[in-house]
Amino acid sequence: MRFTKMQAAGNDFVVMDAKEVSPDWPTLAQAMCHRRFGIGADGLIFVMPSKRADFEMRIINADGSEAEACGNGIRCFARYVSERGLALAGKEELRLGTLAGISRARLFYTSGKLIKIQVSMGKPILSPAKIPVNASAKDDIILDFPLAVNGHELRLGFASMGNPHAVLFTDQAVADFPLSEIGPKVENHPMFPKRINFEVARVFSPRTVEARVWERGVGETLACGTGACAITVVGQKKGLLDNHVDVMLPGGTLEVEWDGKGEVMLSGPAEPVFTGEWPD
């Protein structure tokens, strides 16, 4: 089975054509994504035919669970189908189907070289019941929920970008936050029936924020596209961030744009690392 290893701001994936793969995707993902005995990746992405879009994308996390959406993964997917000749040559916009809905990916070229990929991430969901979060809110939005975890009181804002997110804004450097201790506790807290992704962020200016992410089903990752979007949405709702934000993550910077009403737009790099064959 042929594969391509790709990364987007350090968020790495194994990308494959689903026609070459057996149906036991969770077991395959756990084997291929293992960083000691496999290729090593945050997730396994499959390219599939689609009746509603140009292609269908499915992503299996490193623990074998399936993700509804993945902003960095979508950019890797778009570059893969473009450069493998699966998409029409020269096509600069693709419609890609995910479990969270249709995403549009636009490829930007300069002198024939791909420099950036922008993807539409859909409208954010802020209603606790739809995220889902087992908590009620007077205005059907929660931006400052107190959650005690391991002696830390976290003030969390919630949003879904097709997958659920809890965002903590802090005044301390995010490098000093005990993410490996707190992240799994938040992810698996009983108030989140489908578990949750957890972001810790510090605002430098209305257009610049630094962040770290604990991803549901993966652990800490170098970057998270939907996480960057959730940070921007919650930060904007809290009056901390502008409508165009650079989110600086350990693996690189992602650009997020949101007008407060429509779809969130995410931009950033996507690079191939190497190709190879995985034994059947």
Q: How many CB atoms neighbour CB 119 within 10 A?
A: 29
Whole-angstrom distance, CA of residue 87 vs CA of residue 107: 12
- DSSP type of residue 88: P
Phi and psi torsions of 179, nearest 5°: -65, -40
Pick the catalytic residue: 33, 76, 224, 229?
A: 224
Angle at 191 between CA 186 and CA 194, to 5 degrees: 80
Q: How many whole angstroms separate alpha carbon 160 and alpha carbon 123?
A: 9
- CB atoms under 10 Å from CB of 193, counted, come to 11
The answer to whether residue 33 is catalytic is no
- Report CA-CA distances (Å) from 250 to 8, 88, 90, 131, 233: 12, 34, 32, 26, 20
Q: Are 249 and 9 in contact (CB under 8 A)?
A: yes
Indicate which residue of 33, 70, 76, 229 is catalytic.
70
DSSP bridge pairs for 125: 160
Q: Catalytic amino acids?
A: 70, 224
